[in-house]
Structure 1
Amino acid sequence: MSDDQRPGELPGLDLERLAVWLADTRPGLVAGPLRGRLIAGGKSNLTYEISDGESAWILRRPPLGHVLATAHDMAREYRVITALADNGVPVPATYALCQDDDIVGAPFYVMERIVGTPYRTAAELVPLGADRTRVIATGLIDTLAALHTVDPGAVGLADFGRPDGFLERQVRRWKKQLDASYSRDLPAAVELHDLLAKNLPAQSATGIVHGDYRLDNVLVDAEDRVAAVIDWEMATLGDPLTDIGLLLVYQRMSDTAMAGVSDVALAPGYPAESEVLERYSMRTGRDVSEIGFYIALASFKLAVISEGIHFRHIHGQTVGPGFEHMGEGVEPLLSAGLSALRTP
């Protein structure tokens, strides 16, 4: 994290205007002048910790500059977190949503600050030992399974997405997002998109999809339990197997030059891919026999996201460190996706 910053010093966040808005929207929540800091690690929506000196909260807003259509919808993120409270999936409490760009320059929401660790590297897990690492990773899988067994209608999310034709739209959507962020020729992207479109499997039963589920998008408490699932910006209704496919792609990336995202699967005690799939399938009852397609789709999605971040970075529209090498992972991800579709 960066050091605390005073009003006028924090990119993407006007603390004085925010304080006035919170005083009107949630009287009594804030007890004094706000300070804040940008939480490092996020490559998309910006996450800040804000504090009045006594209490602290988390604020989320879209990135600065180039924002793709349909992405970075604060209202959707806020809605799904709010709906899942007390429904078997650990999430922060939500306090306020603002869709007025005049306050901080973009829509945003404020939620509870949960104390916990978003483990990003094997080096962070190794000192815990293999047994604790296995407990943490198992909790990660079980939490995803719990999410995928929530009935969307029972928590007020029946209209949160359009599950019919979800996989076809995902393939089309990520191609459209890539077209909006092209800065170079990527022939493998064209090939992978075409193969995905031609090899759509029958969809798994509809569920709530997180959209970017991995170990550093959950907070783990001192007892090695998942205290909160965070970063819900891609959440929707659809085929939940897209989440497990993405989790496995992140796991595979641990063994490659793309491990800059996360290499947690290299830590002793982290379950093998087959164990992840077996435990997930046992907990959810879902058929994972077509996992190759979901791994390929996840690879395509991550390649598109990386290319979008690369686009913003070369145009000077990113905040914080760690963006300069994002473009290097695009072609390896596309190759991994092609390999997953071609493997029997």
Structure 2
Amino acid sequence: MSQPLPRPTLRGNHRDWEVVEAEGELAALGRLKTGRTRPGVTRFDPRCFVNEEDVLIELALLGMQRIAPVYKLVGTDDELRVHGYIEGQPLSALRPPGTALSGSELTQIVGLFGELAAIQPSAFALVHRCPPVLRPHTSTQFLQTLIRFTRRRVYAVHRPLLQDLFTALRIGPTVLSPTGPLAREAARLTDRPFCLLHGDLHRDNLIVAESDGRLWTIDWELALIGDPLYDLATHLHLMRYPPKQEHALLLSWARTMDVVLPGSADALARDLPRYLAYKRVQSVFTDVIRQAHVVQATPPAQLAEQLPRTVEMVHGAMRKAARPLGLGRVPGPRAVEAAYAAWYVSAPPVAPAAALDRDRRAATRPGGP
């Protein structure tokens, strides 16, 4: 039916993708992507849906354009579901983080937020994985759920292995506690209507199409039903717009959302910093843990080469989150390097080489789940 292309496998945070050329009766579909879940991958974000394909199929039924089509290959094992391959390149290749987007690109991104805001949560009732009684119903409950996930499923899970590293870096569970600073700010949130959120909208997940230069949106693994301001905060945190363009995006976002989903931009100036504080704290735990796996997998002869890269990522994340973390003084680069070097000596044996290689690749983007 199809043959692997002579090109590298695409690596995602949660799946490996193989690009194949469709043949025979499927030739008109062009190139396709087949995904394989990477075992043992740490998840740093909650999920509302079992898999990305369910989200994409529902979005297609709702008429959303410029998302990857999903095909079910009947006759294959478990009737394999594959994605159409979007011919183009990531926006990050043309506009690296920290650089400005074109006016057209900015307009398209705001338009995407508007499309998501127009989707009622009930449209995804059949594929939503969380029992209704456990779902948050207010903005306060939504942020509290995110904080609780990071406390229980990220920090607590990794604490037995990384306690000495957490202690050396002066980060701990206080910031994530039910009475901590993030939770206190969550209690002050203004309620906004919920809608579908992409959950991971950054430059690598926006593809500039070869055909017309317009943007396609990929990687819906972390889609959620929740407060639209969280999607905006995640986007700003990961995109790293120049200040002037960030301000322009905020104004355009608020105008669009007020029309499409009235009330969704309420208290924007007060509540956006609260979500951004959570994202910055979450990124610290994400980067500390991912970099621990990378360092653990590094052969002794290469440790001196790896540690500066680890320090740059972790120290940068800690500086951005210093205030919500309650760090009057962020540990300097030398202190961060010393913490990882000391932990390396006492770390348990590494996992199998293939898994470690995947962890290393997954750790190349700061702050992302």
TM normalised by structure 2 equals 0.64
Q: Which moved more, 1:78-87 or 1:324-333?
A: 324-333
Matched, 1:224 2:213: yes
- Seen in structure 2, the aligned counterparts of structure 1 residues 145 and 63 have a Cα distance that, compared at 3 Å, is same
- Seen in structure 2, the aligned counterparts of structure 1 residues 60 and 96 have a Cα distance that, compared at 3 Å, is same
Structure 2 runs not aligned, ≥5 long? 259-264, 299-305, 327-369
1:84–1:155 Cα contact (<8 Å) kept: no
Whole-angstrom CA distance in 2 between matches of 1:271 and 1:157: 41
Q: SS state of the match for residue 211, structure 1?
A: coil
1:196 Cα offset (Å): 0.7
Matched, 1:302 2:274: no
Residue of 227, 241, 245 corresponding to 1:272: 245
Write the mapping of 1:109-120 to structure 2, written as runs, cut at 5 A: 109-120=81-92
Structure of higher CA gyration radius: 2
Q: Deviations over 1:244-293 (max 9, x none)?
A: 101111244xxxxxxxxxxxx35xxx962211111111111122121101
Q: Which moved more, 1:108-117 or 1:182-191?
A: 182-191
2:48–2:224 Cα contact (<8 Å) kept: no
- Seen in structure 2, the aligned counterparts of structure 1 residues 309 and 74 have a Cα distance that, compared at 3 Å, is farther
Whole-angstrom CA distance in 2 between matches of 1:327 and 1:45: 27
2:110–2:256 Cα contact (<8 Å) kept: no
1:149 Cα offset (Å): 2.3
Q: SS state of the match for residue 306, structure 1?
A: helix
The structure richer in helix per residue is: 2
Residue of 56, 62, 68 corresponding to 1:92: 68
- Seen in structure 2, the aligned counterparts of structure 1 residues 308 and 203 have a Cα distance that, compared at 3 Å, is farther
- Seen in structure 2, the aligned counterparts of structure 1 residues 304 and 195 have a Cα distance that, compared at 3 Å, is same
Residue of 185, 205, 211 corresponding to 1:199: 185
- Seen in structure 2, the aligned counterparts of structure 1 residues 243 and 326 have a Cα distance that, compared at 3 Å, is farther
The aligned amino acid for 2:212 is E
Residue of 310, 320, 336 corresponding to 1:336: 320
Matched, 1:293 2:268: no
- Seen in structure 2, the aligned counterparts of structure 1 residues 71 and 281 have a Cα distance that, compared at 3 Å, is closer
Matched, 1:62 2:37: yes
User: What is the RMSD of the two structures over their aligned residues, measured on CA atoms?
Assistant: 3.8
Q: Which moved more, 1:143-152 or 1:73-82?
A: 73-82
Q: SS state of the match for residue 220, structure 2?
A: coil
Structure 1 runs not aligned, ≥5 long? 1-30, 253-264, 318-322
2:203–2:239 Cα contact (<8 Å) kept: no
2:4–2:19 Cα contact (<8 Å) kept: no
1:304 Cα offset (Å): 3.2
1:119–1:125 Cα contact (<8 Å) kept: yes
2:182–2:324 Cα contact (<8 Å) kept: no
1:52 Cα offset (Å): 4.8
Q: What count of residue pairs does the alignment treat as equivalent?
A: 281
Write the mapping of 1:25-40 to structure 2, written as runs, cut at 5 A: 31-35=1-5, 37-40=7-10
Write the mapping of 1:122-133 to structure 2, written as runs, cut at 5 A: 124-125=94-95, 133=102
1:192 Cα offset (Å): 3.6
1:95 Cα offset (Å): 1.7
